[in-house]
Each structure stands twice: as structure tokens, then as C-alpha cells.
Amino acid sequence: MRSTIYRIIEPSKKKNGASHYFDIFIIILILLNVLAIILESEESLRTIYRPVFRQFEIFSVIVFSIEYLLRVWTATEKVKYSRPIIGRLRFMTTPIALIDLFAILPFYLPFIGIDLRFLRIMRLFRVFRILKMARYSKAFDLIQKVLKEKKEELVITLGLISIILVIISTLMYYVERDAQPEHFSSISKSIWWGIVTLTTVGYGDIYPITRLGKFLGGIITLMSVGLIALPSGIIASGYTEQILERKRKRN
């Protein structure tokens, strides 16, 4: 029986059967929970539909709790968690199981006097479960593979961007602090300018106003076009590489 339940609650490759419908049910319930969290944050809706939100929360937590308990119980079906107690404990400390636990815990804690409603946001992270369910999709596999293969390049690019960010932000701090003491009052504030500029977001809450600051900022911004092009180029070549690899295997 445990093995049957295990097969049902595990994400399924097949497009039908109990396991497939269970997957769809959980995905829809997660998405409805996300929607409920978004809608509940609206003052007007929260006031009127408080009981509906509460009942839906109780229903969801019960389903998620049962699902969590079943997952822990059936964890021993997997070879690496096969030992009854230590195996289940090791399963419970995996990131995905911890997210599932944190998604239900905030509901129970108030009963024992602890208020961690703040942790309700953990329920949001359950949406990553959807990605896990979609892991058999060829396209998602490819994206993951490309990002994994290019991880080192992307991290180094991020490092390079960070180094340049700190240097130009410090320069801009020294240039602008006298003209705009309220905006460039510290290097960390200047780094906020740097991030907003390098990523080309450009909110407009903070920008250089002195002649030298604009000159420096202009050159930096022009250069940043090349910098920001790096990740795009890396990912594009990663895809091309995967495609060539696939072609080579087929021949």
C-alpha cells in the first residue's frame, strides 16, 4: 500500500492515471494559494471575504499536511532514504521537504502560543514544486542544462559586474556627494544608483547632476551596454552548444 501511495504522490511521467491527476490537483491548489495570498493583501477584499480566505486556508493546510505526512511516510520507498527513522529524518531535512514543512507550520504554531504568521510567505515557495513537476519537460531540462553548464561563466560575469559596480559607485560618491548630499550620502546609496543604472532600470530617483558626474555616468552607462550583453551572449552560446551536441549524438 505504501508503495502505491508513493507512486501516486510522486510527480508522474504519464499523461493519465491517479498520479497524473494528483499532480494536477496539487498544482492547482498551490496556484490558488498563491492567488489567495495576492488577493488577501487587498484591504477591501480582506475585509469582506475574511471567512472565505480562512476556510480556504484551513482546507489547503489540511491537504498539504496530509500530503506532507504521506511524503515522509513513503520516503523510505526511495533507496537513499530506505532506513525507517534516519532515512525519514534525512528526507525531512532536504530543501524541498523543509519548504513543504514551513508552508504548513505557521498555521499550527499559534495553537501552541507561537505566532509566526510571517512565515506564511513560505507557502509561496511551493510554486517551485510546479517546476519540479515539469522537470520531465524537454524544454525545461534544456534551460536547466544550459544554466548549469554556464554557471561558472555566469557567476564570474556577476563577479565582474559587482567589482565594476563597487568601483564606479565609489567614484560617483566622491563626485556627487557635495552636490547632492541627500542622495549620495554614502557609498551604499551610490551602489543603489550603480545597480539601477548598470541594469538599465533607471527609476530616476537618483542620478548624477554635476557636469563631472554626468560625464562619468555617461561613459559608464555606454560601457555597461557591453557588460550587460555578456550574460545574454553566454546563454545564447550555451544553447547553441547544446544543440550542436544533440546533433552530434544523433549522427
Residues 153-192 that bind its own copies (CB under 8 A): 153-163, 166-167, 170-171, 173-174, 185-188, 191-192
Torsion of CA 25, 31, 37, 39, to 10 degrees: -110
The only residue of 96, 101, 116, 124 in contact with its own copies, by rule CB under 8 A: 124
Closer to its own copies at the Cβ: 16 or 232?
232
* Alpha-carbon distances, residue 8 vs 12, 76, 78, 85, 179 (angstroms): 8, 15, 14, 22, 65
Binding string, residues 211-250; x marks residues near its own copies by CB under 8 A: ---x---x--xx-xxx-xxxxxxxxxxxxxxxxx--x---
d(CA 230, CA 224): 10
DSSP letter at 13 equals: S
How many alpha carbons lie under 13 Å from residue 57 in its C-beta half-sphere?
21
Write out the three cell numbers for 19: 498520479
The only residue of 29, 97, 130, 216 in contact with its own copies, by rule CB under 8 A: 130
The answer to whether residue 138 forms part of the interface with its own copies (CB under 8 A) is: yes
Contact 53, 47 (CB under 8 A): no
d(CA 123, CA 49): 20
Closer to its own copies at the Cβ: 70 or 228?
228
What is the phi/psi pair of residue 142, to 5°? -65, -45
Tell me how far, at minimum, the Cβ of 83 lies from its own copies, in Å: 34
Closer to its own copies at the Cβ: 110 or 159?
159
Tell me how far, at minimum, the Cβ of 182 lies from its own copies, in Å: 12
Q: Per CB under 8 A, which of residues 55..84 are in contact with its own copies? A: none
Tell me how far, at minimum, the Cβ of 118 lies from its own copies, in Å: 8
